[in-house]
Structure 1
Amino acid sequence: MSWQAYVDDQLLATGKISRAAILGKQGGIWAVSKGYTLAQKEQDVIVKTLFTKPDEVRANGITLAGFKFMTIKAEPDEAIGRKGERGVFIVPTKQAILVGEYEAPAQAGDANIVVTGLADYLKSVGY
């Protein structure tokens, strides 16, 4: 399966995720939903700062495609952001980082299950 198919078929097709991306831990976007543009600075924060300097991320929030989320959680296994009726789950795997945004009427818990489920699968196959 291509990386784009993971975004399209495993994240967006659920109806629980509205925008998504898969980034490589070494940098670069492996796949992204149509129209979801992550600036290089935003990618750098995800890859280089989010899981290594959580206090910095908690203080500054998480900005994706120009939209700034308040950081709810920044831990080595997951980062969560929220603002209004929108939220994001960012989950690292062995080689990649999954980004899944949701918005109402989707519920946070449902979106979390989708993103972490794909992350668990990718970890199980070495990614």
Structure 2
Amino acid sequence: MSWQAYVDDHLVGTGKVSKAAILGKQGGVWAASSGYNLSQQEQDAVVKTAFAQPDQIRANGITLSGFKFMCIQANPDEVIGRKGERGVFLIPTTQAILVAEYDAPVSAGEANVIVTKLADYLKSVSY
């Protein structure tokens, strides 16, 4: 299966995630939903800062595709952001980081289950 299929079918296709991307921990966008463009600076913040320097993310939030989220939680397993009716989850796997946004009326819990399930699967196959 292609990386794009994971974004299209297993994240956005569920109806619980509105936009998503899979970033490689070594850099680069492996796949992204249509129109979801992360600048190089935004990618670097996810890959190099979010999990290595969580205090910086907690203090400054995280900007993705030009939209700034306030950081709700940042730890080695997950970064959670929210602003208004939008939220985002950043979840690392062995070789990648899943970035998944959701919008109301989807709840954070509904979106989190979808993203965590895919992250657990990718970890189980060493990705």
- TM-score band, normalised by shorter chain: over 0.9
Q: How does 1:96-115 map to 2 (within 5 A)?
A: 96-115=96-115
Instruction: Say how many residue pairs are matched.
Output: 127
Q: How does 1:67-82 map to 2 (within 5 A)?
A: 67-82=67-82
Q: CA deviation at 1:118?
A: 0.1
Q: CA deviation at 1:56?
A: 0.5
Give the match's secondary structure for 1:10: helix
Q: What is residue 89 of structure 1 aligned with on the other side?
A: 89
Q: What is residue 3 of structure 1 aligned with on the other side?
A: 3
Q: How does 1:21-100 map to 2 (within 5 A)?
A: 21-100=21-100
Residue identity matched to 1:42: E
TM, length-normalised to structure 1: 0.99
Q: Which runs of 5+ in 2 are unaligned?
A: none
Give the match's secondary structure for 2:81: strand
Q: Distance in 2 between matches of 1:106 and 1:38?
A: 23
- Root mean square deviation, CA, Å: 0.4
Q: What is residue 126 of structure 2 aligned with on the other side?
A: 126
TM, length-normalised to structure 2: 0.99
Q: CA deviation at 1:28?
A: 0.2
Q: CA deviation at 1:75?
A: 0.3
Moved over 3 A (4+): none
Q: Which runs of 5+ in 1 are unaligned?
A: none
Q: What is residue 15 of structure 1 aligned with on the other side?
A: 15
Q: Distance in 2 between matches of 1:59 and 1:107?
A: 24
